A and B are shown apart, each in its own frame.
Chain A
Amino acid sequence: MTQSWIDIKHANVVLIMGSNAAEHHPISFKWVLKAKDAGATVIHVDPKFSRTSARSDFHVPLRSGTDIAFMGGLVKYIQDNDLIQKDYVTEYTNASFIIADSYKFEDGLFSGYDAATRKYDQSQWAFAKDDKGIPKRDKTLQDPRCVYQLLKKHYERYNLDTVSSITGVSKENLLKVYEIYTSTGKPNKAGTMMYALGWTQHSVGVQNIRLGCMIQLLLGNIGVAGGGVNALRGEPNVQGSTDHALLWHIIPGYNAVPTSAWPTLADYQKANTPVSNDPMSVNWWGNRPKYMVSLLKGWFGDKATAENEFGYNLLPKVEPGVDYAMMFVYDRMYQKKDIKGGMIFGHNPAMSFPNTHKVRAALQTLDWLVMGELHDTETSSFWRQPGVDPKKVKTEVFLLPACQRGEKDGTTSNSGRWHQWHFKGQEPLGESKSMGWMLIEIMNRVRALYEKEKGAFPEGILAHDFLKEYDAEEMAMRINGRFTKDVTINDKTYKKGEMVPSFTLLQNDGSTYSLNWCYTGCYPAEGQNLAKRREHTQTPIQAKLGLFPNYTWAWPVNRRILYNRASVDVNGNPFNPELPIIAWQDGQWVGDVPDGPAPPMAMEGGKYPFIMHTEGHGQLFGPGRVDGPFPEHYEPVETPLTKNPFSSQLSNPCVKLPKSDLDLLAAPGDPNYPIVLTTYSMTEHWCGGGDTRNTPYLLEAEPQLYVEMSHELAEEKGIKNGDVIVVESIRGKVEAVAMVTVRITPFQVEGKTVHLIGMPFCFGWTTPGVGDATNRLTPSVGEPNVTIPEYKASLVNIRKADKVTELAR
């Protein structure tokens, strides 16, 4: 989130799209309803009518996988009717930037596409620069090669007729949303977008979010109170796990994972440190070398020296261009069978991964598997799953009992980036331990073996400055970081061992360490664990905003609303004087912690507001994404259509598809699988359900797998509410109870009726009689930028079950 949960209450319009906020983030609705009380319009755009829709002003059903068409139409509406927030767009976004002649877009493809590799040469989408290397601009926005004009050209195809026909949304509903949402383009109005997996889990997932951001930039809704692009993150600590790099492609603090293309630290720093010649651009990532060296210093301690590249040479390097996302790890496990073993903690891929058949088969190729879990799950018990003879499975599985979060100290980072300490409430049950304890214990024993027996490359294992035993408080301090020797910075001397009070003091010479620069400042001095703060004190301006700067701590530097320099005009006066986030008063900023101390943009030394971009501007034109600088509508890989009305590119030309005998895909418009399936979570169960199916009260409330479907489809198929049906895709079949409801309606798409059904994915066979993995139906389709699977749109068929084997009746 660029904002905090509380800030939602300031929105004039709340657009919930790609999320079922009331069900999956129940607390968010405390603030949505407060916004509504204050007069906001709450709009829910989603394939089905859910508990979120019930509490919104209105619901607009949309065929799953057509968000870009819907929002592309909104961009066109904004530009056709000149509804942008002019000063904001001209000054703070790259609308005025001139694009190099090499950029082109023709019939669904951007310039630089190589069909053989399914990749673009992104260098063709460059900004034109002047002789000083600064992007050329036309602030009148009239130059035909400026971003604003190219944007207009790009979305001119997204007219109401085409958008309505592809999305299944009536023109009346499209206009209703467009009109209401664009009312937030005025400087004193704000609209917020709340999204979650409904936007991300598509083969165009990253571009869905890009387009949301672009609309927010056009309307001047980023950085302001009640605005923002708000990824709803929650229970699985997605915010914290991303910050600390649970994903393969980054190391902590959003630094790229080292590859063999960068054999030395100097190579790494050069490739990952952008340079800006524009003195008004903060170009924050210019600081990367300091963060990277401090991270290495945190990992390797005294063993990290300038002479040995601070231990960079000890890091494993991935091969450039190879995708190590779990979708491809399971593919390799299944096909190459060269992965011997692995560890899975707090994760149930035999339920939650697409094409679960393949995951379940892949796991059987392992020699060993170590799992840390609270309960036995479909993953830890894959060797005894239905249809598998345990005697024929060679894998040795170790299930380590993990304690619950209430049984350990630690932190979670909430969606608003609040670093919140949670205190142990009781001792762990039985022999269970925290997963942190397990990892430290395992690694120390591995280290002891290396110490004793050496083996291959022991220094890579032994050089780490490793904890002797798990200690959440010490980890929090190491994440914040310390000075490693006495240093004097700006006339102030910091002693060796002292906490680093702010990431601005991190150094690239090894004199500081931090395990995650984003969090430096959360523990600014001994005994000051700011994540434990519970103070409600505020200044009047903070009280008006609902900011609680003394309650826990938010990264970065306790800033509660990101990009807040975009909430003021170039002279530092708030666009919305009623709800200023920051304001320039008497030569200083008041309000929230500003995005850097520089004075307003029009003053001497002033800086652009979007400090994380090299050019300092919000990116309407975004050359950084591998599948295009402007979002374009492509059909889901499994689509009920055979033609894309916007171009002859039916699906995303860069989509990642593992190929194996189990990776079958239904052909576009396949008459055997005419129904769109979308999958989702629910309030009562958590993710794959491993925890919550073992919580009897929750299982009581949602006991078995169901399929939500329209009355029209049910009638067509002779299905009654409560019947057990079989849902079948080209990959597998699943039994579920039919929930026939008015909350799902058929869509009229490109002249034909398209039915959509929805299923949760939390029910698995280890809980008897509840059903088994819905993800046996979904395909391994990876989004090109981040390889997130396309869970939200695939093709199936349904029929009434002849006999029932998976569900208790």
Chain B
Amino acid sequence: MPKCIFIDTTRCTACRGCQVACKQWHDHEAVPTLQTGTHQNPPDLNPNNFKLVRFSEHKLDGRVHWLFFPEQCRHCQDNPPCKDAADEFLEGAIIIDESTGIVICTEKTKELTKEQCEEIIDACPYNIPRLNEKTKELTKCDMCIDRVHAGLVPMCVKSCCTGAMNFGEREDMLKLADEHLAYVQKTFPDAELLDADFLGVIYLVSHPREMYHEYAKRETHPLNRADFLASVTKPFRNILG
């Protein structure tokens, strides 16, 4: 049965418990950061940060809107574009765990070239995977697959105290997402679930998705192999670094 994380961003207080808990579970190194005029730190996903709370602030009609977006891999259902892209280069570099639907970058990604990795990253509509320059592996959120197989919830969900992060069977999460959406729409009529049909990590947002960050918006539909081949010739999109 596919597993799913449902993230209700309207309940997120950006405490960043999920961001830190993720690092702790994966035994990731702390990365050196600087204050650059934002609370968002590190500035972007990286091989030591599979989860990152993005902050964006707006003032509309005299009212402040501070939006929080706990970013992570969406674990696309069926044909994840990263996997489709990777399969072109090396079968088994990126796989889907059958019992859970979790999309995994395996150790085999080490065998990919840097250019191949960049193409895979470019295939991701959410700009999620990152190349670990040291190990040469492609990295991203693994939905704490070790925990999930042991019957535990992912660390980010475990750490969340407000009910923003939820984990369970996809069917149950979709139901929960619909309930939350109906409730949030009373205050924010334009609230929506982001790409819920395709994804194993579903976000509920209250504001237009482009207000959260550049890649909150899915720019392409899931690619099939033919689409992918057609796309590899187009110039790389700028990868946030």
By a beta-carbon cutoff of 8 Å, the part of chain A in contact with chain B is 22-23, 26-27, 29-30, 33, 37, 49, 51-55, 59, 683-684, 696-706, 721-723, 737-743, 807-809
**Residues in chain A near residue B38, CB distance under 8 A:** 721, 739
User: In the complex, which residue of chain B has the Cβ closest to the Cβ of A59?
Assistant: B64
Contacts of B161 in A (CB 8 A): 26-27, 29-30
Does any Cβ of A come within 8 Å of B6's Cβ?
A: no
* A-side contacts of B23, CB under 8 Å: 697
CB distance B66 to A743 under 8 Å?
yes
* With known contacts A738-B37, A742-B57, A683–B15 Cβ distance under 8 A: yes
Contacts of A743 in B (CB 8 A): 57, 64, 66
Contact across chains for A737 and B13 when beta carbons are under 8 A apart: no
Contact, CB under 8 Å: B15 / A742? no
State whether A33 touches B11 (Cβ < 8 A).
Answer: yes
Q: Does the CB pair A26–B36 fall under 8 Å?
A: no
Apart from A54-B68, A743-B57, what 14 extra A-B contacts exist at CB < 8 Å?
A22-B13, A26-B17, A30-B161, A30-B163, A33-B163, A49-B64, A54-B13, A683-B16, A703-B34, A706-B35, A721-B37, A722-B37, A737-B36, A743-B66
Contact with A along B175-192 (1 / 0, CB 8 A): 000000001000000000
A697 contact from B13, B30, B57, B59, Cβ within 8 A: B30
A809 touches B64 (CB 8 A): no
Contact of B16 among A52, A54, A684 (CB under 8 A): A684
Alpha-carbon gap, A738 to B31, bound state (A): 22
Kindly list chain B residues whose C-beta atoms are within 8 Å of the C-beta of A33: 11, 162-163
Separation of A26 and B66 alpha carbons in the complex (Å):
17
Instruction: Tell me the bound Cα distance from A22 to B13 in angstroms.
Output: 6
Closest chain-B Cβ to A617's Cβ sits at a distance in Å of 38
Smallest beta-carbon distance B146→chain A, Å: 20
How long is the Cα–Cα vector from A220 to B13 in the complex, in angstroms?
A: 31
11 contacts between A and B (CB under 8 A): A27-B161, A59-B64, A700-B42, A701-B16, A701-B33, A701-B41, A702-B35, A702-B39, A739-B35, A739-B37, A740-B37
Proximity bits, B1-43, A CB within 8 Å = 1, else 0? 0000000000101111101100110000111111111110110
Contacts of B24 in A (CB 8 A): 697
- B58 at the binding interface (Cβ < 8 Å): yes
Please measure, in the bound complex, the distance between the C-alpha atom of A700 and the C-alpha atom of B33, giving whole angstroms. Answer: 6
Q: Which residues from chain B contact A684 at a C-beta distance below 8 Å?
A: 16
Pick the contact of B66: A27, A37, A53, A696 (CB < 8 A).
Answer: A53
Listed from nearest, the 4 A-B pairs whose CB atoms lie closest are: A696-B30, A722-B37, A704-B35, A721-B37
Q: Which residues of A contact B66 (CB under 8 A)?
A: 49, 51, 53-54, 743
State in angstroms the CA–CA spacing of A79 and B211 once bound together.
44
Q: Determine the distance from Cα of A705 to Cα of B36 in the docked complex, in whole angstroms.
A: 10
What residues of chain A lie closer than 8 Å to B42, measured between beta carbons?
Answer: 700
Most chain B beta-carbon neighbours within 10 Å: one of A51, A683, A696: A51
| Chain A: CB-nearest residue to B29 | A696
Q: Please give me the residue from chain B that is nearest to A738 by CB atom.
A: B37
- A26-B161, A700-B30 given as contacts; is B57 within 8 A of A741 (CB)? yes
Residues of chain B at the chain A interface (Cβ within 8 Å): 11, 13-17, 19-20, 23-24, 29-39, 41-42, 57-59, 64-68, 161-163, 183
Known contacts A53-B64, A742-B64; decide if A809 and B20 are in contact (CB<8 Å): no
Q: With A37-B183, A697-B24, A809-B34 in contact, do A703 and B41 touch (Cβ < 8 Å)? A: yes
CA distance A706 to B24 in the complex (A): 26
Contact B58 A742 (CB under 8 A): yes
Distance A701 CA – B65 CA, assembled complex (angstroms): 22
Tell me the bound Cα distance from A657 to B68 in angstroms: 43
Q: How far is the CB of A781 from chain B (nearest CB, A)?
A: 29
Chain B minimum-CB-distance residue to A723 = B37
- A22-B15, A697-B20, A697-B30 in contact; A737/B35 too (CB < 8 A)? yes
Q: How far in angstroms is the closest Cβ of chain B from A42?
A: 12
CB-CB under 8 A from B41, the residues of chain A are 700-703
How far in angstroms is the closest Cβ of chain B from A629? 39
Residues of B within 8 A of A697 (CB): 20, 23-24, 30
Q: How far is the CA of A719 from the CA of B68 in the complex (A)?
A: 26
The residues of B that contact A705 with a CB separation of less than 8 Å are 35
Instruction: Give the distance in Å from the alpha carbon of A703 to the alpha carbon of B40 in the complex.
Output: 11
Smallest beta-carbon distance B227→chain A, Å: 38
Closest B residue to A724 by CB, please name it: B35
How far, in whole Å, are A702 and B15 apart by their CA atoms in the complex?
12
Q: How many angstroms from the CA of A42 to the CA of B58 in the assembled complex? A: 21
Most buried by A among B13, B35, B57, B64: B35
Bound CA–CA A701/B23 (angstroms): 12
- Closest residue of B by beta carbon distance from A34: B163
Query: How many Å lie between the Cα of A701 and that of B19 in the bound state?
Result: 9
Q: Give Cα A181–Cα B226 distance, bound, in whole angstroms.
A: 61
Residues of A near B16 (CB, < 8 A) are 683-684, 701
Q: How far is the CA of A52 from the CA of B66 in the complex (A)?
A: 10
Q: Which residues of B contact A27 (CB under 8 A)?
A: 161
Chain B residue contacts of A704, Cβ below 8 A = 34-35
Q: Do B33 and A26 touch (CB < 8 A)?
A: no
A702: chain B residues within 8 A (beta carbon): 35, 39, 41
Closest to B63 in A: A58
In the docked arrangement, what's the CA distance between A311 and B67, Å? 61
Q: B29 contacts which chain A residues (CB < 8 A)?
A: 696
Bound Cα distance from A261 to B57, whole angstroms: 58
Q: Complex formed: what's the CA distance from A703 to B31 in Å?
A: 10
Give the complex CA separation of A697 and B42 in angstroms: 10
How many Å from the CB of B157 to the closest CB on chain A?
A: 14
Smallest beta-carbon distance B13→chain A, Å: 4
The chain A residue with its CB closest to the CB of B164 is A33
Q: What is the CA–CA distance of A532 and B40 in the complex, to the nearest angstrom?
A: 39
Q: Which of A55, A706, A737, A808 has the most CB of B within 10 A?
A: A55
Assess the A737–B162 pair: CB atoms within 8 A: no
In the complex, are the beta carbons of A55 and B64 less than 8 A apart?
Answer: no
Alpha-carbon separation in the docked complex, A807 to B162 (Å): 35
Q: Which of A26, A54, A684, A807 is packed against the most chain B CB atoms within 10 Å?
A: A54
- B20 and A26: CB pair below 8 A? no
Tell whether, in the assembled complex, residue B33 and residue A51 are in contact, meaning their CB atoms are under 8 Å apart.
no
CB-CB under 8 A from B162, the residues of chain A are: 26, 29-30, 33
CA distance A29 to B10 in the complex (A): 12
Instruction: Give the nearest-CB partner of B28 in chain A.
Output: A697
Given contacts A29-B161, A54-B68, A737-B36, contact A699 B13 (CB under 8 A): no
Q: In the complex, which of the residues B13, B31, B58 contacts A700, with contact meaning CB atoms closer than 8 Å?
A: B31
CB atoms of A55 and B58 under 8 A apart = no
